[in-house]
A and B are shown apart, each in its own frame.
Chain A
């Protein structure tokens, strides 16, 4: 994910250069490493009779290995396959300057699979582990869960800028990923502060990236240059997901005996209410002069950001019509509830993963 954020920053500050940029190579190296690691685990388990993993492995196409290794290897292959597809896409359509495109989704599916593979690999060990090993594995598990939240929020970057944080669509978009990840990881880990840790990993990762990237000089190599850039343009300040995550952890500690549906409905309401309650006023702050510093990062813009845009002028997009606003908010709430219920179901199954 460092490569992904680096690449997005590269596109915003330097512009597209070639396939062989360091950021692209970092992304693809991740796919290659995942493929090699997963492949090694699979081959070692398959061909070494004395492999300690052999009993705790699954069988696919005559090979044996931990389930997570197969998923990570699948992700590695998908990431590598996305490269020529993406390159052809640029050559055919010239469409590059956006995150949401079919080849980028293949890449995202690969990155997500690498993370989910790692998550399940750890989970298998964790569920079999006893004693001191278990908390260490749980910490790893929560870290990977946080990185999955980073992956999914990157996909939403174009739809979650501070200019849209007073639009209901923003909350609907966030509701499609955050509750799912927070609830699934929390349920699978059976740890009472899991959601807070996951959101904390996400927040810390994005904060570090947003503080470190601008330390490096960069100048646009592409035109039109609408905004003069002298350093790598970082991502925006992380969303305040840590607050609803903390609220959910507190809620789940007190509602463990509730039925899954009842718990999901209340969780959905709590997630959305707390997130709106903190992010809405925080968006006001981000658009204010007080946030125009390196810490909150609203002084940074991409070279192709029009100075006339609402974003550059620290303004919000026009307010939704009342009916539209509430319709989107209701959809956001329903999504939150349903995805948390789905996450509970997945989490319950993940708790039983042994291999």
Chain B
């Protein structure tokens, strides 16, 4: 039985849970993290999708409530006929060591947008929540050497065996019992064995061709993210085009708005990662977008554009652009930006990031090192210059905060919100089972704390951009983390 990591889930206040739900975005971070309520029970759900489709998704569920007695899990399509009829749910295994931790495994049979429905039963009655999961083949697993050798030996035995059987059949099978084969029979047997070997080799060649054809067809099913082609027009206008490198029958003009934005674009200067913007380009055509740029320093920038397709499948389009110094427009609406020291000078022990007006953001990270593939709750608080909880906090695009986790080699990018890495637009498609999906449930001023459930997919060095809104201004706190295996 697996035991939950010693992370600090639910030992922290979880006010963030009652805020609007997020959109998903990820590069190199396929695992889905979602924190929400199944009726009266508060759950953190981690879904590790399979790398091949059909394949098995691993499910981990931690309950904040001690009175949950049973958790059942079931996969359904997010939309369409497959979303109506649920298969029989599996009962998740309860950890003997940690009775609030459950695990299970579910088959995802097709590529596309799925949901994992979680049904919790306990002292307070039943409750249910659904978590959107994008399923796509990511790679082809190579054959292990031992298995390859074993199969090759078996294949050789079968090959030689069949040649020998045909030889024996030609040489002796038609002889009267007790009679020895004569020279013509032996000669005929050798010819038959040679012919059999040729036929078998031909069959193997055909089989290998078929195998190659199947592998090629599978290659086409492996997920290829959208690409962002970017140019600058008229000095400060960023023109973007979504390019599909060719993956199944995906469209680029079927995007759903998420908090009124079709695309959430992170622009990060590379390799220093010292400048970041969180922008929201407007669509100008079917697959084209435009954004008025703020004033920006010259340099090369990485682009991460989060989008959600109409079937609930979410992805991050990526690109790069070389920019001259831009004398642009002031940031408007939900657009925001921030700056920090280059990652080459990162302080991996620092837990404080300066904000404007003497305010600061503090990362409550604890003394334990972070490890890859473990779910954590990343908690931050905003203080004034006297160390008091900040006042005047506001919702930023309907939520308490946004965070982007970026590995310094850019192999990982994840756009996370207080309820995890799930796209709000996808949640909206299953709103029947999540009646509060996408709704801000908080009344009054948000607290000066925000937390994000997520897990690093692999070891390495990461930069974390955390954005909150206070006194009408979006503030960006930037932190660095070193993650162990």
Contacts and interface: CB of A to CB of B under 8 A. Distances in A.
B183 interface: no
A103 to B, nearest CB: 9
B52 interface: yes
Contact of B154 (A81, A219, A353): A81
Interface string B152-166: 001101100110110
B147 interface: yes
A303 interface: yes
Contacts of A59: 168, 172
Interface of A: 15-16, 55-56, 58-61, 67, 70-71, 74, 77-78, 81, 84-85, 88, 90-97, 101-102, 105, 120, 124, 128, 219-228, 303-304, 306-308, 349, 352-355
A222 B81 contact: no
Contacts of A81: 151, 154-155, 158
Interface stretch (B210-218, B302-310, B390-398, B459-467): B210-218
B87 interface: yes
A351 to B, nearest CB: 9
Nearest to B83: A224
Contacts of B75: 222-223
Contacts of A16: 54, 107
Interface string B328-370: 0000000000000000000000000000000000000000000
Contacts of B140: 92-93
B325 interface: no
Contact of B174 (A78, A85, A220, A354): A354
A222 B174 contact: no
Contacts of A105: 207
B54 A78 contact: no
Contacts of A353: 173-174
B376 to A, nearest CB: 29
A90 B165 CA distance: 32
Contacts of B87: 15, 219-223, 225, 303
**Interface size for chain B: under 10, 10 to 19, 20 to 34, or 35 or more residues?**
35 or more
Nearest to B162: A74
Contacts of B161: 60, 70, 74, 77
A223 B207 contact: no
B214 A101 contact: yes
B142 interface: yes
A59 to B, nearest CB: 6
Contacts of A78: 158
A78 B207 CA distance: 15
B52 A228 contact: no
B109 interface: yes
Contacts of B143: 88, 92
A354 B169 contact: no
Contact of A88 (B50, B81, B147): B147
Given A92-B140, A354-B174, A221 B88 contact: yes
Given A60-B164, A74-B158, A90-B54, 11 more contacts: A58-B171, A70-B161, A97-B54, A220-B87, A221-B88, A222-B75, A223-B74, A225-B76, A307-B81, A354-B173, A355-B172
B172 A58 contact: yes
Contacts of A93: 52, 140, 214-215, 218
B76 A223 contact: yes
Contacts of B7: none
B177 interface: yes
B107 A222 contact: yes
Contacts of B147: 84, 88
A267 B109 CA distance: 45
Interface in B131-145: 137, 140-144
A226 B158 contact: no
A87 to B, nearest CB: 9
A130 to B, nearest CB: 14
Given A95-B218, A219-B88, A220-B87, A226 B82 contact: yes
A60 to B, nearest CB: 5
A95 B221 CA distance: 11
A102 B214 contact: yes
B177 A55 contact: yes
Given A16-B54, A354-B173, A55 B88 contact: no
B210 A102 contact: yes
B472 to A, nearest CB: 46
B54 A94 contact: yes
13 contacts: A16-B107, A58-B171, A58-B172, A77-B154, A93-B215, A102-B210, A224-B77, A224-B82, A225-B85, A225-B86, A352-B174, A354-B175, A355-B177
